[in-house]
């Protein structure tokens, strides 16, 4: 198979599932993907996950990591500070069809979320003692662990794919969008073809201590979240309407896709950095 040269254009971590993400210049790789990615989640009183699909205003909850704490900010609200070393009350939480072990982070966090989103909600943290695995239908013999991600530990997108989308948006008289709408972890630069990540098999980066190998396994089918304005938390129609015009994917029974779900083959404990150069092999 042919090798393609590429580089890491940006790295993104989303500590609280479906809240705003963070651009980072480097990230440690763990068994569940980038460190701290989707390790917290908002749930309803029954313990079921809540996302921007139902509550677009979650886009305005902005996390920060540092000084041993997760900090959450929202317009008009004081900062909620949650020590990273803090425990919590053991509980169960449901993300899609998976019921998993978690820790409830208490009434103060619940009151903060209710004040922001206007309904009773709670914040839970993933219990790292368990192994929540991606679907073997897509990973084959690889056992890929997840935190609270929808189903795969790493999401890969490309600058070429975003550029093509923004070109098409401009043709329709629509403003450009940023990559944050697609909530990737790893954004690649250097692909000549728009959405060229669709055709990649493995990515390989030489990190300190050894290689990082990431396998792209499944196209990412898109819901309404990319059409939530990250600045206002309001649901719109773009870029979903434009994507529908050219991104129906036969591999996903006509679902609208953008980016690729991926799993970590090798590299736990190693660090990815923005600007790092690597190689990719073609899937076919």
Read off the tokens for 242: 């434009």
Whole-angstrom distance, CA of residue 167 vs CA of residue 218:
25
The residue among 48, 44, 40 whose CA lies nearest residue 19 is: 40
Q: Which two tokens stand for residue 20?
A: 């705003």
For 88, the domain range is 3-282
The whole-model pTM stands at: 0.95
Q: Is the pLDDT of residue 36 over 60?
A: yes
Number of domains in the chain: 1
- Span 176-197, average pLDDT: 96
Name the phi and psi angles at 33, rounded to 5: 115, -150
Give which of 149, 143, 123, 142 is closest to 131, Cα–Cα: 143
pLDDT-derived band at 2 (thresholds 50, 70, 90) equals low
> Please, are residues 174 and 242 in contact by the beta-carbon 8 Å criterion?
yes
Residue 1 has pLDDT above 60, yes or no: no
What's the N-to-C CA distance of the chain in angstroms?
Answer: 8
Report the CATH number at residue 132: 2.40.33.20
Cβ-Cβ contacts under 8 Å for 268 (sequence gap 6 or more):
29, 30, 31
């Amino acid at each position: 198979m042919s090798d393609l040269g590429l580089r890491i254009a940006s790295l993104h971590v989303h500590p609280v599932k479906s809240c705003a993400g963070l651009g980072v210049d480097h990230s440690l790789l763990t068994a569940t993907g980038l460190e701290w990615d989707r390790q917290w989640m908002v749930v309803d009183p029954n313990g079921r996950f809540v996302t921007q699909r139902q509550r677009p205003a979650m886009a305005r909850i902005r996390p920060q990591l540092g000084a041993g704490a997760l900090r959450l900010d929202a317009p008009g609200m004081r900062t909620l500070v949650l020590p990273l070393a803090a425990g919590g009350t053991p509980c169960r939480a449901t993300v899609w069809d998976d019921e998993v072990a978690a820790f409830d982070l208490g009434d103060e966090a619940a009151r903060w979320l209710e004040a922001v989103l206007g309904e009773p909600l709670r914040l839970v943290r993933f219990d790292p003692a368990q192994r929540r695995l991606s679907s073997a239908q897509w990973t084959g013999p690889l056992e890929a662990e997840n935190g609270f991600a929808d189903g795969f530990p790493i999401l890969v997108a490309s600058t070429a794919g975003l550029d093509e989308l923004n070109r098409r948006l401009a043709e329709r008289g629509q403003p450009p969008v940023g990559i944050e709408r697609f909530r990737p972890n790893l954004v690649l630069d250097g692909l000549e073809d728009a959405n060229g990540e669709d055709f990649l098999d493995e990515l390989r980066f030489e990190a300190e201590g050894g290689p990082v190998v990431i396998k792209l396994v499944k196209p990412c089918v898109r819901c309404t979240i990319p059409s939530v304005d990250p600045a206002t938390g309001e649901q719109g129609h773009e870029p979903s309407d434009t994507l529908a015009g050219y991104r129906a994917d036969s591999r996903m029974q006509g679902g609208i896709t953008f980016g690729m779900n991926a799993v970590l083959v090798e590299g736990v404990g190693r660090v990815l950095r923005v600007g790092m150069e690597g190689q990719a092999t073609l899937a076919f």
